[in-house]
Amino acid sequence: MQVSSSSPTAAGASTGWLRWIALLLLCAAYLQGGLVKLFDFPGAVAEMQHFGLAPAVPLAAATIALELAAPAMILLGVYRWLGALALAAFTLAATFMANRFWSAPPEAQFMLMNAFFEHLGLVGGFLLVAWHDLRSRP
């Protein structure tokens, strides 16, 4: 059976690379953050301490593991929905912890508010990835 170039099957095959690039871009900050923390573990521990998280060492290690494993799951398509939900939950928690614009000094509120809503957009993107992956399963 021949597939015409205008069929959904041909369109999906020819745009698979675009989907992968989109997923890579969605995961880029987590891959970068995980690698930076991995190669500067004392800095990762200091970040945990800055946000009042304890015990800082195991939480830094868990963050590194999440920031590297979940994007790998998404990019490789191995339990993609689970990796996406994990990053959505992580991002939502981190957003409320790190971007508390409502309690910041007035001069910091604008930037924190922008970061807060940008991170909510990332959460939405990961929820869409999870939804799409679960929906496409038999």
Q: Do 51 and 98 touch, CB atoms closer than 8 A?
A: yes
Tell me: pLDDT of 12 over 60: no
Report how far residue 20's alpha carbon sits from residue 111's, in angstroms, rounded to the nearest whole number: 30
Report how far residue 61's alpha carbon sits from residue 41's, in angstroms, rounded to the nearest whole number: 8
Kindly report the pTM of this predicted structure: 0.88
Report how far residue 90's alpha carbon sits from residue 50's, in angstroms, rounded to the nearest whole number: 17
pLDDT at position 101 is 97
Averaged over 67-95, what is the pLDDT? Answer: 98
pLDDT at position 112 is 97
pLDDT digits (tens, 9 = 90+) for 83-99: 999 999 999 999 999 99
**Backbone torsions φ then ψ of 63, nearest 5 degrees:** -65, -45
Q: How many CB atoms lie within 10 A of CB 42?
A: 10
pLDDT at position 5 is 47
Computed over every residue of the chain, the mean pLDDT equals 92
